[in-house]
Amino acid sequence: MSQRVFPAEWAPQSSVLLAWPHPETDWAHMLHEVQACFQEIVTTIARFEEVILLVPDEVTAEELRPRFPARVKLPVIATNDTWARDFGPISIKENGHWSVLDFQFNGWGLKFPAHKDNMVTRLLLGAGLLAPDIQYQNHLNFTLEGGALESDGAGTLLTTAECLLSTNRNEQWGQAQIETYLKETLGIERVLWLTKGFLTGDDTDSHIDTLARFCSKETIAYVQCTDPGDEHYEALQAMEAELKQFVTADGLPYTLVPLPMADEVIFDWERLPATYANFLIINGAVLVPTYESPKDGLALTQMKKAFPQHEIIGINCRPLIKQHGSLHCVTMQLPKGVTN
């Protein structure tokens, strides 16, 4: 019988994929600020593993090469923007062999141009950046983003109904049909659907990686709101109640690690979706977004409870949140064996 595994993020990795902000992205008006943030992210990841940093042209590659360690690869692959979590390849292992799954990326429901981003997985394969024996699976008939998926690596998927059931993605598909498709495609056995919770300013229709994340098969970290005066209070309290009702595959309640609701971040007169749940797990470390807030320290302390064996590293992601995303959103891990 075929055994297909959708690995957890904490599984051993070969590299992390990012795309460098360039003048043709939405970062054009604040390039210096956001490039400094990307440089810190890339340099930090490179302490632990390889980085594949997509650049728009060879001139940019030559300019960046002296600024990064040798384990940072700089392939020329064009992108519309920098949200690698949502256009990067989704990796599964089947009978000991790795495959990359290429889903349709439509700019979070046709909100933004994505024609270049949607080519990235195929171009990574064509450029020889993936392992020679990698299998490519075309799933371009289905719209799906990596930020919508949380796997525990043992058959359980955590996701949100708000995103996966939105009519601007797979309009003809109902919940039961989507769940069956995900089980068959990803090799998962069950889906935990969160129906509550949101962040103001979020363009993704409530990606799970902004709200709740697996830290182990038994542990979920999530955004907790305890301020009745906050506009998120009722929805996040309801989400917390849902999480308390979820049980592991063994029928036990999850260990829940609350992360503070990030202090309000306002830019251009609108509240942004700042969240500490948008962390990145890499080999030996967890990178946690911070926002120049007194709550940053509490978030890092809580993350250490969830990942006692990992180094916990805060990264100032205030520049990223100005475009409504954060640290996890701009990265996509590639498990060990997927790249050369």
Is 317 catalytic? The answer is no
Amino acid at 75: P
C-alpha distance from residue 11 to each of 71, 92, 219, 255, 282 (Å): 20, 12, 15, 20, 8
Q: Which of 178, 311, 159, 320 lies closest to 242 in space, CA to CA?
A: 159
Q: Cα–Cα distance between 46 and 217 in angstroms, integer? A: 27
| β-sheet bridge partners, residue 90 | 101
Contacts of 72 (CB under 8 A, 6+ apart): 42, 46, 50, 51, 53
Are 320 and 37 spatial neighbours (Cβ–Cβ below 8 Å)? yes
Are 290 and 315 spatial neighbours (Cβ–Cβ below 8 Å)? yes
Report the Cα 33 to chain-centroid distance in Å.
22
Extract long-range pairs of 161-167: CB within 8 Å, 24+ residues apart: 161/193, 161/194, 161/195, 162/195, 162/198, 162/205, 162/206, 163/204, 163/205, 163/206, 163/207, 163/208, 166/109, 166/205
Catalytic residue, candidates 163, 225, 317, 329: 329
Q: Cα–Cα distance between 322 and 246 in angstroms, integer? A: 33
| β-sheet bridge partners, residue 235 | none
In degrees rounded to 5, what are phi and psi of residue 111? -80, -30
Catalytic residues: 329
